[in-house]
Amino acid sequence: MFACQKMPGLGCRAYHLAALGALLVHDVQTTRLDNGLTLHVATSPLGHHAPVAAVQAWVGVGSVDEGPHEAGIAHVVEHMLFKGSRRYGVGELVRTIERGGGEINAWTAFDHTVYHAVLGRDHVDGAIDALGDTLLAPRVDPEELARERQVVLEEIRQGSDDPARGVAQSLFATAFVAHPYRRPVIGTADSVRALQPNALLEFFRSYYVADNLTIVVAGDVDVERVRRGVERRFRTMPSGRPVRRVPAEPEQTTPRASAVARDVAEAYLAVGFHVPAARHPDLAALDVAAILLGQSESARLPRLLRDRDHLATSATATVHALRDPGLMVLSATAPAGRAARTVGALVDHAIGLVDDIDSAELDKARIAAESSFVRQLETAQGRARSLGWHATVTGDPQFGHVYLDRIRAVRRHDLAHVMRRYLRPDNASVAAILPAAGKRASHATFARRAEGLVRRSLAKPPAVAAPVEKRVVLPNGLVLVVRRDPSVPVVAMRAVWRGGQRAEDAKSAGASTLLARMITRGCGKLDAAAVADRIDRLGGGLSGVAGRNSFGIAGEWLARTWQQGFDLLADCVLDPALPHGELAREKKLLVEDQAAQADNPTQVAFRAFSEALYQTHPYARDILGTPDSIGDLDRPGLLAFYRDRYPASAATIAIVGDVDLDDAIAHVRARFAAQPAQKPGAAATPKPPVVDGRSASEREVYRYLDRAQAHVVLGFPGATVDAPDRFALEVLVAILGGQGGRLFAELREKRGLVYRVSAHSVEGLDPGFVAVYFSCAPDKVDGAVAQVRAELDRIRAGGVTTDELDRARSYLAGAHQIAMQRRSAVANAMAYHEAYGLGWNTWSRYDDALRGVGVAEVAAAAATYLRADRMIDATVRPPSPSPAAAKRSKVPGPPPKATPAPPRRASPRPRGNV
């Protein structure tokens, strides 16, 4: 419901291969009830005892089952099922799951609708009961439907602002002329406005029947208890299997292309080819082709189009494997002047697989496949999703056995066969979203040119033991923490330093981010391509990360290759090449990214908020730096910055996974013990600015973007990573935010003012921030701001209830358990907590810290952090401000493009790593 899938093609390669692990490794027991409902229970792997379970309901209905007049009805039904049932009122389903320390959500896709919860294992019975009542006896109240319709319309408007989603939907609309895959899953504003309660009920009764439902439970559960619970709750569900009447897609006979103009900084491009349905034997070879073309740094499309030819800024390849025939998609972003050439190059390099593929590249693809499904085994929700997808989309939960055999059997001639068979001019469709500004050919001209380029390109001749931990400090000061956890054959590692933005001044702004991008772009005698090739051959991942408080390198490997992976990480730390050509390219891309961020109104809002809050403090700056600061960084200067700010002896290294502790310690000693002890340098960090005393107008900032929605951040100075009241602040934010929080209930559920609303606490080595963010229709901004202020006043004046406290603590504890299933999350927490002086094992005491928070502590945190006289109001809206807003903005009329916002994080952050 709250994170619904609107993009075409949930069934990409990751689903195929991730599903295999659950099917091949874990104990899966299947039961079919008398009414036709199917239950799959996947117990935890031997030795993996995370007290977590996932409960998922996969309904075999999606947007393909809708008529043209009811587009979006499957998605609206999904929303309405969260609006109460016979025994659960509005919001009670969410609160029931959160009381179990978990979370619940849903998505609607082309072929299915999924309701998924993850929570503590002791609360599975309650989740099954609540989900069963929702799926058997929902209430469709006309007033609630009217409110939820506004929520969906906001969701549609939000999607219209996302060019990546837009080009995907445009491609499907171009490639399909009859099949419902051509329509957006979410529907259109007109179709959603027309939906009435009786239509929703009729659709629900037709498709929410036992033969069309698969229940999947995975994790540390009792199989018999789960079976009894499902039988008791779902045995009264009506039987029956809906008859699908989906129009057949006629065979395409000529290339198609479409292009539109949008207010974007670069062109978004997609080329699609019709491919068979998920069960077809050719899908395995097509998936291997997609891996080789565009699913890693050393894949052909990014390596050739982006790195060598500098045509594109990104390039990928994906197979959308669906219940009916889907698409293979080649995607790219590129400067507007290179858009047409990029379309031709995408096709050229894809068809090049016919004649130019060797066994070494095939080996890399097989390792990538193995790595994908092994990592999926770490979480209960991953195992459940794997089983559910195979059962619902392919019709056979055991189909993964067949599919894995097909992957292993793919040879060069198979790749050549499928590329020739499906990459044909008469099977190709092109979609493009082009920047609206500047002089260039019309969109119709671009579309005709794209069709011609595709024709020419394709007409060419084919070219279980308990974890054990140790902390070791080397004589030079380097700190190593190791945790053995052999339950899954994965090893995660992190090397981190305090630094990031706090280690930069205005001249070196963005240096840490540039280093993070460069640190794995060559080391020792290996150039960037060789490093990327090595990473893929080891079945791993290696990348630099930089934030407001830190810099580091993150690696993840299969257990059988972790030693070689660690050596590669060490080579990058000790002998980074920072080659001139790569540096020039990354600097250019970094500056382009700075400009492109202005297309994201959420980032623009948070950037404006940070600048207003922090002023001269480094946190006010964009982590990407500025064009001037990045332009001034040459190789000697960047290398000097690295050696000064991030000496090897000042690193904290964490290794977590299927390793021998002594072996890991010996490896680290061998590579780092000889490094000299060196204290890291640091830029002078000014004290955070004082907000007290600023006038209301000084605490309000506005930016203007031509978008369908407004985006608002209302925030305050926040806590440090070691603040004594930081856990009370987390509980406070959980009570305000989240699906069961006060803000969501009041602004979205009750008043329908916003589509999205959330609350955040971001700590730092210096004080961070507390903020409320929401997006809404521009004419609802004033009402939404007033309501947020009222809720904050209410919590400051009246505090919180014991029930709210218990729910929030339970939710935070459950969310922490869910997040810490992955070795990468544990390695993150151990490394950063140690580097920040919190202690490497404090992550394991998080639950105890939450239990120490009471009603009084939350009230004190509200009084400390939610002071009205310290609130910064940052608003991004379309360029038609109200007179009052225009006056307060201090800008004569709508200004030009807003300043860029903070970048995306490269990986989930531990406390303070932003």
Digit-coded pLDDT (tens) for 387-399: 999 999 999 887 8
Sheet containing 652-657: give its strands across. Answer: 468-473, 479-484, 652-657, 490-498, 550-558, 541-546
Give Rg (Cα) of the chain: 27
Query: Rounded mean pLDDT of 872-889?
Result: 72
Cα separation of 272 and 172, whole Å? Answer: 8
Q: Where are the alpha helices (DSSP H) in 615-647?
A: 627-631, 635-645
Give the number of other CB atoms < 10 A from CB of residue 444.
Answer: 11
Nearest to 76, CA basis, from 159, 179, 195:
195
pLDDT at 4 over 90: no
Residues forming beta bridges with residue 760, ordered by sequence position: 771
pLDDT at 715 over 50: yes
Q: Is 270 in contact with 433 (CB distance < 8 Å)?
A: no
Q: What are phi and psi of 721, to 5 degrees?
A: -65, -20
Nearest to 161, CA basis, from 6, 273, 56, 359:
6
Q: What's the pLDDT tens digit per position in 639-662?
A: 999 999 999 999 999 999 988 898
Helix (H) or strand (E) holding 655: strand 652-657
Q: What one-character DSSP code corresponds to residue 392?
A: I
Tell the residue number behind the tokens 């529907």, with chain if given. Answer: 187
Q: Which residue has the higher pLDDT, 204 or 436?
A: 204
For the chain, give me the number of helices (H) and strands (E)?
Answer: 33, 24
Q: What are phi and psi of 838, to 5 degrees?
A: -85, -20
Query: Rounded mean pLDDT of 277-299?
Result: 93
Q: What one-character DSSP code corresponds to residue 790?
A: H
pLDDT of residue 689: 74
Q: Is 197 in contact with 143 (CB distance < 8 Å)?
A: no
403 burial (CB, 10 Å; 0-12 / 13-18 / 19+) is buried
Please give the mean pLDDT across all residues of the chain: 89
Q: Is 66 in contact with 207 (CB distance < 8 Å)?
A: no
Measure CA 695 to chain center.
38
pLDDT at 854 over 90: yes
Q: Is 527 in contact with 857 (CB distance < 8 Å)?
A: no
Give the number of other CB atoms < 10 A from CB of residue 878.
Answer: 15
User: Whole-angstrom distance between the N-terminal and C-terminal Cα of the chain?
Assistant: 28
Nearest to 462, CA basis, from 365, 349, 361, 359:
349
pLDDT of residue 400: 76
Q: Locate 179 and state its tokens.
A: 């099949």
Tell the residue number behind the tokens 């490497």, with chain if given. Answer: 840
Q: Is 577 in contact with 586 (CB distance < 8 Å)?
A: no
Q: Which residues of 597-620 are buried (b: 16+ CB within 10 A; e: fewer)?
A: bbbbbbbbbbbbbbbbbbeebbbb
pLDDT at 465 over 80: no
Is 685 strand, coil or helix? coil
pLDDT of residue 460: 63
Q: Is 189 in contact with 153 (CB distance < 8 Å)?
A: yes
Q: Is 696 in contact with 887 (CB distance < 8 Å)?
A: no
pLDDT of residue 385: 92
Query: Rounded mean pLDDT of 815-828?
Result: 93
pLDDT over 90 for what percent of the chain? 75
Q: What's the pLDDT tens digit per position in 500-517?
A: 999 999 999 999 999 999
Q: What one-character DSSP code corresponds to residue 85?
A: B
Q: What are phi and psi of 597, to 5 degrees?
A: -60, -25
Q: What are phi and psi of 109, to 5 degrees?
A: -125, -175
pLDDT of residue 598: 84
* 135, 140, 665 from 89: Cα distances, Å: 14, 12, 55
Cα separation of 870 and 696, whole Å? Answer: 9
Lowest mean pLDDT of 241-245, 287-291, 714-718, name the range.
241-245
Angle (CA) 419-421-423 rounded to 5° is 55
Q: Is 549 in contact with 836 (CB distance < 8 Å)?
A: yes
pLDDT at 615 over 50: yes
Give the pLDDT band (50/70/90) at residue 445: confident
pLDDT at 348 over 70: yes
Cα separation of 128 and 116, whole Å? Answer: 11
Query: Rounded mean pLDDT of 556-560?
Result: 92
pLDDT of residue 464: 45
Q: Is 469 in contact with 540 (CB distance < 8 Å)?
A: no
360 burial (CB, 10 Å; 0-12 / 13-18 / 19+) is exposed
Q: Which residue has the higher pLDDT, 544 or 457?
A: 544
Q: Is 363 in contact with 300 (CB distance < 8 Å)?
A: no
pLDDT at 902 over 50: no
Q: Could you tell me whether strands 479-484 and 326-334 are parallel, antiparallel, or unpaired per DSSP bridges?
A: unpaired
Q: Over 160-171, what HEC string results? A: HCCHHHHHHHHH
Cα separation of 914 and 501, whole Å? Answer: 9
pLDDT at 897 over 50: no
Q: What are phi and psi of 656, to 5 degrees?
A: -135, 130
Angle (CA) 767-768-773 rounded to 5° is 150
Query: Rounded mean pLDDT of 606-626?
Result: 94
* 275, 355, 460, 620 from 414: Cα distances, Å: 15, 12, 20, 54
Helices 412-422 and 282-294: angle between axes, nearest 10 degrees: 90
Query: Rounded mean pLDDT of 851-858?
Result: 96
Q: Is 320 in contact with 327 (CB distance < 8 Å)?
A: yes
Give the pLDDT band (50/70/90) at residue 49: low
Give the number of other CB atoms < 10 A from CB of residue 462.
Answer: 14
Give the pLDDT band (50/70/90) at residue 776: very high
Query: Rounded mean pLDDT of 561-571?
Result: 96
Lowest mean pLDDT of 368-377, 814-823, 855-864, name the range.
368-377
pLDDT of residue 356: 80
Query: Rounded mean pLDDT of 316-327?
Result: 96
pLDDT at 900 over 70: no
Nearest to 361, CA basis, from 562, 525, 536:
536
Q: Is 768 in contact with 718 (CB distance < 8 Å)?
A: yes
Cα separation of 819 and 842, whole Å? Answer: 15
pTM: predicted TM-score of the whole model, two decimal places: 0.84
188 burial (CB, 10 Å; 0-12 / 13-18 / 19+) is middle
Residues forming beta bridges with residue 557, ordered by sequence position: 491
Which amino acid is it at 249? E
Q: Which residue has the higher pLDDT, 12 or 185?
A: 185
Q: What are phi and psi of 762, to 5 degrees?
A: -120, 110
Nearest to 307, CA basis, from 23, 582, 109:
582
pLDDT of residue 687: 77
Helices 781-798 and 726-736: angle between axes, nearest 10 degrees: 130
Query: Rounded mean pLDDT of 28-35?
Result: 94
Nearest to 866, CA basis, from 781, 803, 801, 790:
790
pLDDT at 17 over 60: no
pLDDT of residue 1: 35
pLDDT of residue 440: 52
Q: Is 189 in contact with 35 (CB distance < 8 Å)?
A: no
Of the CA atoms within 13 Å of residue 489, those in its CB half-sphere come to 12
Is 490 strand, coil or helix? strand
Nearest to 709, CA basis, from 154, 193, 2, 265:
154
Nearest to 146, CA basis, from 202, 187, 197:
197
pLDDT of residue 398: 79
Query: Rounded mean pLDDT of 777-792?
Result: 96
Query: Rounded mean pLDDT of 129-158?
Result: 93
Q: Could you tell me whether strands 213-219 and 38-43 are parallel, antiparallel, or unpaired per DSSP bridges?
A: parallel
Q: What's the pLDDT tens digit per position in 206-235?
A: 999 999 999 999 999 999 999 999 999 999
Lowest mean pLDDT of 202-216, 805-819, 875-889, name the range.
875-889
The answer for 68, left when phi > 0, alpha when psi is -120 to 50, beta otherwise, is alpha
Give the pLDDT band (50/70/90) at residue 8: very low
891 burial (CB, 10 Å; 0-12 / 13-18 / 19+) is middle
Which amino acid is it at 763? E
pLDDT of residue 883: 55
Cα separation of 321 and 421, whole Å? Answer: 17
